Amino acid sequence: MKKFAIFLLFFCFSTCLFSQDIIITQANDSIRARVLSVYDAVVLYTLFDDPENISHVISISDINKINYHNGEVDTFSDVISNSVEANLLNEHLPKVATSQENIFQNVFRFKPLVTIVGAILGMFELEVQYARYISPGLAIPIDVDVFAGGGLFGFAVLTGLEGVPLKHRQKSGLFLNALAGIMVLDKVGFVTNAAAGYQLMTKKGFVFNAAIGPEYNTLTHKVRVRFTLDFGFAF
């Protein structure tokens, strides 16, 4: 009896864990979802891999069919997409992307202030950064800085974590990041940098950032305040 109870508990847990529904759109896109409610003209759902369980709404006229986790299938291919009811709903409901086109996973940034300051100091310096989002609001950045001047050439490579405390990555807000890595000049040194700033990311994917924070370099054994401005694009 005890073994049966354990088996039943495990079975229920496994069913809940893998109970995802698939929404197939008229454009043949697939949305991994948990369908909450099906109404006469709309479907309310959450994304299957969204830990915040944000609700989305999609018009039935945009759906081809729904494959439920229990094997059942709802078909909507006979819904007229240009019906008056569907058009009225589309005007008043929030825009719901039937694919992940507006959820940016990658961000590329160029930091022109570094180049300008380097030119003033009589050297060339170029810094770029790539960040990959691993969850809503959390990214892993890779920062590369190349500099030359006074007969010396060097580079720095840093990585770490960057957090944007937002429910949707494609909007603006305060962010924090912490980076650490190596700097190679005439010898190898260690560099750490933490920053807080404001990120502006438009719906089209253009990114503008301003940040400030401390930086420590073991080659100079100094702590300095670092201010950066950068722009880029998300894709």
Domain harbouring 52, CATH code: 2.30.30
In this structure, how many other beta carbons lie within 10 angstroms of the beta carbon of residue 121? 11
Decide: 198 and 209 in contact? Cβ < 8 Å: yes
Q: Which residues, 6 or more positions from 89, have their beta carbon under 8 angstroms from its beta carbon?
A: 41, 42, 59
Cα–Cα distance measured from residue 14 to residue 59, given in angstroms and rounded to the nearest whole number: 31
Per-residue CA distances from 157 to 68, 183, 186 (Å): 46, 7, 15
Segments forming the whole domain that contains residue 11: 2-92
Measured over the CA atoms of residue 9, residue 15, residue 18 and residue 20, the dihedral's sign is negative
For residue 117, being part of any structural domain is answered with: yes
Burial-class residue 53 by CB neighbours within 10 Å (0-12, 13-18, 19+). exposed
Statement to judge: residues 216 and 141 lie in one domain: yes
Statement to judge: residues 71 and 110 lie in one domain: no
The pLDDT, as a whole number, for residue 122 is 86
Statement to judge: residues 110 and 85 lie in one domain: no
The pLDDT, as a whole number, for residue 145 is 95
Statement to judge: residues 32 and 126 lie in one domain: no
- pLDDT tens-digit profile, the chain (235 residues): 555 444 444 444 444 445 789 999 988 888 999 898 888 778 888 888 887 778 888 888 888 899 998 888 988 866 554 444 555 555 545 544 444 445 678 889 999 988 888 888 888 999 999 998 887 678 899 999 998 988 889 999 999 998 875 544 445 778 889 999 999 988 999 999 999 988 887 777 888 889 999 999 998 888 999 898 999 988 8
The pLDDT, as a whole number, for residue 188 is 94
Please tell me the number of Cα atoms within 13 Å of 151 on its side-chain side.
0
Q: How many structural domains comprise the chain?
A: 2
Domain harbouring 208, CATH code: 2.40.160.20
The pLDDT, as a whole number, for residue 172 is 72
Cα–Cα distance measured from residue 222 to residue 182, given in angstroms and rounded to the nearest whole number: 15
The pLDDT, as a whole number, for residue 9 is 45
Full-prediction pTM beyond 0.85? no
Domain boundary among 45, 62, 92: 92
The pLDDT, as a whole number, for residue 22 is 93
Q: Which residues of 1-25 are buried (b: 16+ CB within 10 A; e: fewer)?
A: eeeeeeeeeeeeeeeeeeeebbbbb
How is residue 76 written in tokens? 């909507």
Statement to judge: residues 118 and 151 lie in one domain: yes
Decide: 216 and 192 in contact? Cβ < 8 Å: yes
